[in-house]
Amino acid sequence: MTELATTLVPAIAGTLFAFLWQGAVVGVLAWLALGLLRHARPQARYAVACLALLACVVLPASHLLRALSAPVDGTPPPGTGMADAAGARFFSFQPDSPGALDPAFRPDAWPDLPPDSLPWIVALWAAGAGLLAIRMGLGLRWVHRLHAGSLAAGDDGWQCRLDAMARALGIRRPVAWRVLADGDSPLSVGWWRPVVMVPAALVLRMPTPLLEALVAHELAHVRRHDYLVNLLQGVVEILLFYHPVTWWLSRRIRLEREQVADDLAATLIGEPRRLAVALSELDRYAVPVPNPALAAHGGQLMSRIQQLVRPPRSALRGVVALPLVAMAIAGLAIAHAASTPTPAPVAPAQPAPATPAQAPVVPAAPAGRPSSAAPPAPPARATPPQAAPEAPARSTSSSLTTTHYVTGDRGAEGYALVRSDHDAITLVGDMQTRDAVQRARESIQGDFIWLDREGKSYVVTDPATLAKARAAWAPLDTLDARMQALDARMRPHGERMEALGARMEALSEADHHDQALEAAGRRMQALGERQGAMGARQAAMADRISTGDAQAREQARREMEVLAKEQAELARRMEVEQRAMEAHSARMEARMAPMEALGRQMEDAGKPMEAIGKDMEAVGKQIELAAVRADAQVRRLIDEAFAAGLARPAPARR
């Protein structure tokens, strides 16, 4: 048990901390995608939010599995980016490149937590998750008690209506109709045996067409298995409660879920306005319900009503977002490669390079031994200007075009392979190691290997050892050339996508909000509220007719005749507003035609980028394996040279 806790507690703590930045990245990408899809159909936004929440589960789960699968001796499994059990961190960057990370945000800059604090961190997380699990359990118990206290319908009229609507939606499972003695809103609960529960007050007082619209909304939840998805969503909230992105994504999922259900319900009943009026009427006396139950009044009511009374805009933004999301996925695959750099020669440095083209970086390779690190990635080849002077014969720290670093823990022994005919160095170590190598480079002519042993600097200039070291890295030259070729193929597609994106942005800025459509929507909402009020008056008159004396019944009948005329006039005005909104929508669709064409172009441009990104990822994995073998060979050569007395103290700076 103690051994299990010793392994499990650090793994869980590391996973919790890793998800802090993983969740932030997922949140930023989801925010960008949802922004692009803000005018698309709610189904697209719902899918993006669900995929983002799924990523929030997969990332920490995979991190935890990798941590638990690490060998007992402390050597982590391949691809974890950890060099030894002490937690050495590998990070590759180019200091002169525009995309270089600030040192304050690199993983190696984060302070290490004391080991004694890890059990407390895990205990606090477990306590918070336990409290939320109890809250979820109480909500499920409330739903169970609500269902147990409900009654079957006194007549089969509503059950028959429910069955017919369920068949129209394609629901093959039987859906039960139950009546609640209390409550203010219809609810749908259950997944395997779904039930729609409606308060008795709504059955008695709400007009039948409006209640049918609300029931259609609940059946839409049943059709989409939203009850089960909502439960799984609650489990994710429990496990990842400490991250704000989890709650933000969960809230967006619930909001979009209600709009998707509204769309399905409006399609079923064929009258979106009727559902809008029913929602407006329901909101007057609705109360919140626990999360496990799905209620018709959930979500942002105003936006849902506007979505129903206003014809939806083109789903172009969803089409446009697809290639952009593909670009983001390909970019993440290439950026993931930054964790394992491999060395390769670069073109001679120029004092004023024109347009440096940054080569793609490749995935992190596990170290061959606890104190070693995988070699750096191929440096970017700089494109020289037309009249650039020749590079100096020997590079100094100021003439380096690119320097690669692999940072490890404080006890790791660094080394560097320096070639006189190249201006980039291959270095394994930290910033202090780089400075020491540069000092040795200023004092030594020709090729050499610089190494650090027990805090002292040594150099190896033996030709045989140097030849073997260069031969160890020779297989990477071919892979580097392939990566450079893929980068060259990717560049024109990226430039085309950027140009299309600029055109799309310009068109989006020119697409001004239609004020007339907004005004028509507000008028339609006001008419819907009046219609709801008339429905309430009609229900009250029906009560008077059924319970009053003859004189009261006659008076109520006369009032209902007047009310019927008012309703007819109101329906006529709503029809006029509907036609006006349709005309405005048609004009907006015409303005969107150029954007639709541009979106198709962007989709076509994104396909080859995705294919090239997969090829780059495959080459990166090959470089990772080759780097592991080469690094192990070089370290063995260093050990042999040191044992044979071929390593001499590094010369002092002149």
**What are 212-235's pLDDT values in tens digits?**
889 999 999 999 998 899 999 999
Q: pLDDT band at 422, cuts 50/70/90? A: low
Q: pLDDT band at 393, cuts 50/70/90? A: very low
Q: Are 19 and 240 in contact (CB under 8 A)?
A: yes
Q: pLDDT band at 533, cuts 50/70/90? A: confident
Averaged over 497-524, what is the pLDDT? 68
Q: Which residues pair with 453 in a beta bridge?
A: 456
For residue 651, how many C-alpha atoms fall within 13 Å in the half-sphere facing its CB?
13
DSSP string, 372-415: --PPPPPPPPP---TTPPPPPSS--TTT-S--------TTPPPE
**Whether pLDDT at 49 is above 90:** yes
Distances (CA, A) of 593 to 12, 226, 458, 484: 51, 35, 69, 39
Q: Helices 226-239 and 208-223, interaxial angle, to 10°? A: 60
Rounded Cα gap, residues 374 and 365, in angstroms: 6
Least confident of 269-273, 310-314, 448-452, 486-490: 310-314
Q: Are 318 and 278 in contact (CB under 8 A)?
A: no
Tell me what the pLDDT averaged over the chain comes to.
71
For residue 611, how many C-alpha atoms fall within 13 Å in the half-sphere facing its CB?
7
Least confident of 157-171, 267-281, 518-532: 518-532
Rounded Cα gap, residues 413 and 639, in angstroms: 12
Rounded Cα gap, residues 365 and 413, in angstroms: 18
Averaged over 362-368, what is the pLDDT? 36
Rounded Cα gap, residues 42 and 259, in angstroms: 6
Least confident of 248-262, 270-284, 486-500, 631-645: 270-284
Helix (H, G, I), strand (E, B) or coil at 196: strand
Residues 6+ apart with CB under 8 A from 65: none
Distance in Å from the first CA to the final CA of the chain:
60
φ/ψ (deg, to 5) at 154: -65, -30
Given the DSSP bridges, would you call strands 187-189 and 294-295 parallel, antiparallel or unpaired?
Answer: antiparallel
Q: Which amino acid is at 360?
A: P
DSSP string, 341-382: ------PPP-SS-SS--PPPP-PPPPPSSTT--PPPPPPPPP
Rounded Cα gap, residues 640 and 643, in angstroms: 5
**What are 99-137's pLDDT values in tens digits?**
433 443 333 434 456 667 788 888 899 999 999 999 999
**What are 168-206's pLDDT values in tens digits?**
989 888 998 888 877 778 888 888 889 998 888 788 778
Distances (CA, A) of 625 to 69, 333, 342, 481: 19, 17, 10, 16
Least confident of 195-204, 407-416, 459-468, 553-562: 407-416
Residue 391 confidence (pLDDT): 35
Q: pLDDT band at 269, cuts 50/70/90? A: confident
**Whether pLDDT at 75 is above 50:** no
Averaged over 601-620, what is the pLDDT? 83
Residue 3 confidence (pLDDT): 64
Residue 118 confidence (pLDDT): 81
- Give the number of other Cβ atoms within 10 Å of residue 604's Cβ: 12
How many percent of the chain have pLDDT more than 90?
12
Residue 423 confidence (pLDDT): 63
**Whether pLDDT at 71 is above 50:** yes
The single-letter DSSP state of residue 605 is H
Instruction: Indicate the length of the chain as a whole number.
Output: 654
Q: Are 299 and 312 in contact (CB under 8 A)?
A: no
The most confident of 47-56, 103-112, 118-127, 595-604, by mean pLDDT: 47-56
The single-letter DSSP state of residue 315 is T
Show me where the domains of the chain are located.
2-121, 123-316, 489-609
Q: pLDDT band at 69, cuts 50/70/90? A: confident
**Whether pLDDT at 382 is above 70:** no
